[in-house]
Amino acid sequence: MNCPHCHRLLYSRLHAKCGHCGSVLPPECLLPEDEVAKVRQEQEQIERRRIADKEKQEEADREAERRKQDGGYFGGGF
C-alpha cells in the first residue's frame, strides 16, 4: 500500500497519517478500527510478556549471582 499523496510505501496501516509526507490517509489505506484495536491489543500482550520475561530473567540472574557468592568457587576447602 502506497501513500496516495507522495506515493511512497506506507510502513504501517495503523497510523492515520503518512510517515513520509504527513498527509492524512483515506480510510481505504487504513485498517478498519476493530482490526487496529486487535493489533494494538496483540502488541500490548507481546510487550507485557516481554517485560515479564525480562523480570524473570533478571530474577534468575540475581539468584545465580547470589549462589555464586554464597557457595563460592573458593569454598571447597582445597
CB 25 within 8 A of CB 4: yes
C-alpha cell at 67: 549462589
Question: Which x/- pattern, by CB under 5 A, does the window 34-53 give for Zn ion?
Answer: --------------------
Query: Which triple of cell numbers denotes residue 56?
Result: 524473570
In the complex with Zn ion, the residue whose CB is nearer, 3 or 30, is 3
Q: Which of 13, 15, 20, 31 binds Zn ion (CB under 5 A)?
A: 20
User: Which residues, at least 6 apart from 61, have a Cβ–Cβ distance to it below 8 Å?
Assistant: none
Q: Compare residues 26 and 71 and give the one whose CB is closer to Zn ion.
A: 26
Q: Which three cell numbers stand for residue 38?
A: 486487535
Residue in 6, 29, 31, 36 binding Zn ion, rule: CB under 5 A:
6
